[in-house]
């Protein structure tokens, strides 16, 4: 009986590892191709053992840097702007929780569910009139819209976890709202801020729709850059893999670090 | 919510400029209104006009004709159907595989934490990267990895994206979204107290009964979250289609977002694209309303 259970457990573990291997395969295959020569990347039967080369990374780098710079500026810029706008709101909603505040919070969250296709046409026309098309400020503005509800909602949930007695003590000492905000709320929710920032960076980095429709060349981020590989350049598998590796790796590392907060952010705290 | 229990009276006696809660909330609120509500109402407005950027000057009001056109043209019905099949098919696949993985990972075994971490990877990959890599390196009929697997098994090669475009796209997007289902469902499982399982076992419940009467009821919330969040997100799939099939062959993989992109940015048909945008928003909002109710229920019960 005991041996049977142990056998069953070992088998289940084996199955888990097999499914995991299958799921990781496309990524592993991509990482491997990044270090192959083009001929090796294309070879049938596929080459599993080879001498790695960095040649593809050197080739990909040339065109990669402008897009990388744009992605970095758009992701960091929108995260900072979303924090500047969202932190005070999250603080006010957490510390002065009226019924109206609840409604505001719910409404802000609802904007997160607004499909981009419902707003893209007028935005495109407005951007064209304001000369914001294919500019980084234009992209940052949209990514801020995308991340702001997340910042408010997540930071609100972190800030409500701060014991109210701390605020009360500060009030007795005559603290102003600004002092409560900068002196208590912000320092005590730093871990939450870090997690929220990571999520914002991941979402902005991976965004495709606004990037493709609001930028073309000057402000094109990595998603647009990689999209170009779908046609003729897709024939260069090794180079494509190297570029894709460079695009994916930072997000993978961020995501692995923030995996616990990922659940909270993605389900808006409905599952903890 | 601890703070809710302690109502707070703002101190009115302070002198000089005072930050009020409203002043702290308005910037964010205003920003979201300007960037989401205003453009959406413009979209609604445009949807009542025959408005084509390629034909400047003329912009006649045509009432609901754009909607009528969208909902009666059999071609457009295909697109609506594609949108539903894509979202539904992907959702079912991710739920089944995600639940299986969650149950497998909810046991104690060596390397479990590492596996859990690695398994979320495909969710973090940029959608366009997924599409381009799958299209070229995995699904390619001549050199792709899957072709090689089929040939070595003695089976004929398949041009996946040409012969089974929708199934291929669903498989690809399910690969991306399974980690999401797995993460949420696993977290849901882990919040189930051990003593409940033990109590059920002591009462002599079979593994099936244990799953059916203890695990499943507790799991409902997590499953609801997966279904709603994924449906909302999957109705908006765009990058994966753009990077792999470009909506083809023909209309086989064109969903609403891709259709809107084509109408607006290739054909400059602003009126029709706007009407399709409004339909997508309405469709999404029905689901979002349920999601929001679920969320408010959660935050109240805290």
- Residue A69, CB-side half-sphere exposure with 13 Å CA sphere: 10
CATH number for the domain running over A57-269:
1.10.3720.10
B78-82 LR contacts (CB < 8 Å, sep 24+): B78/B251, B78/B254, B79/B251, B79/B254, B79/B255, B79/B256, B79/B259, B80/B256, B82/B166, B82/B251, B82/B252, B82/B253, B82/B254, B82/B255
Are B295 and A13 a contacting pair at CB < 8 A?
no
Dump pLDDT digits (tens) for B191-223: 888 888 888 888 888 888 888 888 888 888 899
Tell me which residue of A229, A70, A225 sits closest to A143, measured CA to CA. Answer: A70
Tokens describing residue B134: 């799958």
Tokens describing residue B57: 């000057």
Instruction: Round to whole Å and give the CA distance between A185 and A164.
Output: 10
B-chain residues near A255 (CB < 8 A): 120-121, 123-124
Instruction: Round to whole Å and give the CA distance between B149 and A44.
Output: 10
Q: In Å, how far are A91, A94, A212, B84, B138 from B242, measured between CA atoms?
A: 40, 41, 10, 18, 17
Output the average pLDDT for chain B.
Answer: 86
pLDDT(A39) > 50? yes
CA distance B167 to chain A (A): 17
Interface test with B, best of A96, A121, A180, A255 (most B CBs within 10 A): A121
For residue B177, give the chain A residue with the closest CA.
Answer: A23
Please give the DSSP secondary-structure letter assigned to residue A134: T
Per-residue pLDDT at A146: 93
pLDDT(B300) > 70? no
Give me the residue from B128, B135, B295 closest to A268, CB to CB.
B295
pTM (2 d.p.): 0.88
For residue A225, give the chain B residue with the closest CA.
Answer: B128
Range with lowest mean pLDDT among A39-48, B149-158, B248-257: A39-48
Which sequence spans correspond to the domains of chain B? 51-276
Residue appearing with tokens 């244990």: B210
Dump pLDDT digits (tens) for B54-93: 887 778 888 888 899 888 888 888 998 999 999 999 999 9
Are B25 and A93 a contacting pair at CB < 8 A?
yes
Is B2 in contact with A164 (CB distance < 8 Å)? yes
Instruction: Round to whole Å and give the CA distance between B246 and B253.
Output: 8
pLDDT band at A15 (very low <50, low <70, confident <90, very high): very high
Which residues share a beta bridge with B269? B52
pLDDT band at A27 (very low <50, low <70, confident <90, very high): very high
Contacts (Cβ under 8 Å, ≥6 apart) of A102: B296
Q: Superfamily assignment of B51-276 in CATH?
A: MetI-like (1.10.3720.10)
Dump pLDDT digits (tens) for B4-18: 444 444 444 444 456
For residue B110, give the chain A residue with the closest CA.
Answer: A13
CA distance A270 to chain B (A): 6
Which sequence spans correspond to the domains of chain A? 1-34, 57-269
Residues 204-243 of A with CB under 8 A from B: 205-206, 208-209, 212-213, 222-223, 226-227, 229-230, 234-235, 237, 240-241
Are B256 and A248 a contacting pair at CB < 8 A?
no
Are B270 and A121 a contacting pair at CB < 8 A?
yes
pLDDT(A82) > 90? yes
pLDDT band at A28 (very low <50, low <70, confident <90, very high): very high
Is B245 in contact with B262 (CB distance < 8 Å)? no
Are B183 and A266 a contacting pair at CB < 8 A?
yes
Reduced 3-state DSSP string for B6-70: CCCCCCCCCCCCCCCHHHHHHHHHHHHHHHHHHHHHHHHHHCCECCECCCCCCCCECCCHHHHHH
Q: Alpha helices, DSSP H only, in B134-269?
A: 145-152, 160-163, 165-190, 194-202, 207-210, 216-234, 239-244, 256-265
B-chain residues near A270 (CB < 8 A): 221, 225, 294-295, 298
For residue B228, give the chain A residue with the closest CA.
Answer: A267
Per-residue pLDDT at B33: 94
Per-residue pLDDT at B83: 93
Instruction: Round to whole Å and give the CA distance between B249 and B264.
Output: 20
- Angle at which helices B74-105 and B216-234 cross, to 10°: 140
Q: How many CB atoms lie within 10 A of CB B143?
A: 16
CA distance B158 to chain A (A): 15
User: From the centroid of its chain, how far is CA B93?
Assistant: 13
Residues 15-44 of A with CB under 8 A from B: 15-17, 19-20, 23-24, 26-27, 29-30, 33, 41-42, 44
Give me the residue from B100, B136, B264 closest to A240, CB to CB.
B136
Mean pLDDT of A122-128: 92
Higher-pLDDT residue of A139, A236: A139
CA distance B2 to chain A (A): 7
Give me the residue from A26, A104, A176 closest to B175, CB to CB.
A26
pLDDT band at B299 (very low <50, low <70, confident <90, very high): low
Higher-pLDDT residue of A232, B16: A232
The number of C-beta contacts closer than 8 angstroms across A and B is: 325
Are A116 and B236 a contacting pair at CB < 8 A?
yes
For residue B260, give the chain A residue with the closest CA.
Answer: A117
Q: Which of A35-44, A251-260, B98-107 has the highest mean pLDDT?
A: B98-107
pLDDT-above-90 percentage for chain B:
37
pLDDT band at B35 (very low <50, low <70, confident <90, very high): very high
Dump pLDDT digits (tens) for A145-201: 999 999 999 999 899 988 888 888 888 888 888 888 998 899 999 989 998 999 999
């Amino acid at each position: 009986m005991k041996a049977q259970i142990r056998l069953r457990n070992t088998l289940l573990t084996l199955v888990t590892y097999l499914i995991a291997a299958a799921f990781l395969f496309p990524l592993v295959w991509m990482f491997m191709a990044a270090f192959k020569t083009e001929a090796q990347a294309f070879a049938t039967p596929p080459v599993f053992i080879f001498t790695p080369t960095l040649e593809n990374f050197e080739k990909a780098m040339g065109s990669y840097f402008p897009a990388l710079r744009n992605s970095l500026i758009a992701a960091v810029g929108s995260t900072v702007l979303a924090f500047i706008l969202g932190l005070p709101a999250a603080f006010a909603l957490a510390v002065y929780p009226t019924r109206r505040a609840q409604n505001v919070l719910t409404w802000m969250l609802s904007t997160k569910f607004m499909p981009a296709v419902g707003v893209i046409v007028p935005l495109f026309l407005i951007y064209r009139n304001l000369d914001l098309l294919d500019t980084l400020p234009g992209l940052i503005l949209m990514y801020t819209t995308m991340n702001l509800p997340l910042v408010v909602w997540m930071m609100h949930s972190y800030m409500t976890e701060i014991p109210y007695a701390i605020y009360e003590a500060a009030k007795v000492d005559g603290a102003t709202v600004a002092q409560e905000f900068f002196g208590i709320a912000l320092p005590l929710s730093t871990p939450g801020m870090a997690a929220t920032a990571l999520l914002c960076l991941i979402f902005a980095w991976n965004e495709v729709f606004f990037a493709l429709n609001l930028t073309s060349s000057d402000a094109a981020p990595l998603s647009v850059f990689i999209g170009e590989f779908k046609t003729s350049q897709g024939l260069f598998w090794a180079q494509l893999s190297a570029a894709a590796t460079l695009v994916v790796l930072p997000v993978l590392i961020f995501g692995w670090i923030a995996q616990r907060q990922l659940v909270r952010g993605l389900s808006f705290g409905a599952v903890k | 919510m601890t703070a809710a229990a302690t109502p707070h009276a703002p101190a009115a006696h302070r002198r000089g400029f005072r930050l009020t809660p409203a002043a702290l909330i308005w910037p964010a609120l205003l920003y979201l209104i300007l960037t989401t509500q205003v453009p959406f109402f413009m979209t609604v407005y445009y949807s009542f006009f025959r408005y084509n950027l390629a034909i400047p000057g003329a912009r006649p009001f045509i009432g609901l004709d754009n909607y009528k056109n969208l909902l009666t043209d059999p071609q457009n019905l295909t697109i609506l159907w594609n949108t539903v099949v894509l979202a539904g098919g992907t959702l079912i696949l991710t739920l089944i595989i995600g639940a299986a993985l969650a149950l497998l990972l909810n046991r104690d075994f060596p390397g479990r934490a590492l596996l859990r971490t690695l398994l979320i990877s495909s969710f973090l990959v940029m959608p366009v990267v997924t599409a381009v890599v799958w299209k070229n390196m995995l699904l390619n009929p001549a050199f792709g990895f899957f072709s090689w697997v089929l040939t070595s098994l003695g089976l004929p090669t398949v041009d996946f994206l040409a012969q089974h475009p929708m199934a291929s796209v669903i498989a690809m997007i399910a690969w991306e979204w399974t980690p999401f289902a797995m993460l949420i469902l696993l977290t849901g499982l882990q919040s189930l107290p051990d003593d409940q399982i033990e109590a059920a076992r002591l009462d002599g419940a079979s593994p099936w009964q244990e799953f059916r009467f203890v695990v499943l009821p507790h799991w409902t919330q997590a499953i609801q979250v997966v279904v709603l969040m994924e449906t909302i997100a999957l109705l908006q799939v765009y990058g994966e289609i753009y990077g792999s099939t470009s909506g083809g062959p023909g209309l086989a993989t064109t969903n609403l977002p891709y259709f809107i992109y084509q109408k607006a940015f290739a054909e400059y048909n602003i009126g029709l694209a706007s009407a399709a945008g409004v339909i997508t928003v309405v469709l999404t909002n029905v689901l979002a309303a349920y999601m929001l109710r679920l969320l408010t229920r959660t935050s109240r019960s805290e």
